[in-house]
Structure 1
Amino acid sequence: MLDLLHISLADQCLYGFADGQLLLRLPVSTALNGPGELNGSGCTPRGLHQVRAKIGGGLPSGAVLRGRRWTGEIWSSALAAQFPDRDWILTRILWLSGCEPGRNRLGAVDTFRRYIYLHGTTDSEPMSVPRSHGCVRLRNADLLLLFPLVPIHCAVQIDEAACPEWAATPLN
């Protein structure tokens, strides 16, 4: 099990750690609007968070989630053509809650009330490029790999720092 997810806005990468050891590196896509904590900003919130809820376990890859519930649909290009402006939340959700009152918790900066997730997205969306509406997007296959490794209350650090040199080395 992982005990820390570090999301680098500079690298557009998620790093998964267990007992201080890097075990996982996955490309992500964070907010097109950049970093920020205010409700309605469309920005990705920084700071220390935790995974407050895991949603979608057992659903098929590409399952369409709206309001944190499966619609019964599986994403397809035909479905995308039918709803061209939809922000697709697919496969699984790791719902984040801020841990720092006044920064990302409570009031106008509450990550949980902003519905900030780590979630799957379509394969047509680019990774390693900021394009989301505030959430952290992952490839569905990567999210299926990550989801069972992340316990409830797992720490999630989101910051602007680039990857530390030691984490940039290839994984064994």
Structure 2
Amino acid sequence: MIKNDSTPRVALKKTTPEVSGAMGALHGAAVSAARDAKVEPELLELIRIRASQINGCAFCLDMHTKDARAQGESEQRVHALNAWQETPFFTERERAALALTEAVTLVHDGRVPDEVYARAAEVFDEAQLAAVIWAATVINAYNRIAIATRMVPGAYQPAPRES
């Protein structure tokens, strides 16, 4: 059993600012690609939350559930996201993105199955599909950073919504 130790470890931004900056630039590029492809910011948050649930990343779950709620996401959908396949709360587009996110996150369990990819390709155009894959990839990287360095959840507050 892993001991619940919330003592932070190496401060990556301080120790390797150039690598942290590159990661931030990758995130920014992925967000821009999603915006250009007209992938909804709310869908990106669902992707981030679902991958973070699978990976057990408390820091990212804290951040992205707060961001989702700040964007108007319902408590019901946030709470049910872990069981999205069992609920009627998500659209076919969201279901395809969530299935693809799970496959990317759990790639060690059998790659990304053709049927999962094909389902996503049916509801997303090529630019949108690329944006969903990048969103899943970037949050998985951030999950690993937050978990490895024991980033402490709780203090994050979303930026105020623009009127």
TM-score by length of 1: 0.29
- Rg larger for: 2
Flag the structure with higher strand content.
1
Flag the structure with higher helix content.
2
Structure scoring higher RCO (CA < 8 A, sep ≥ 6) equals 2
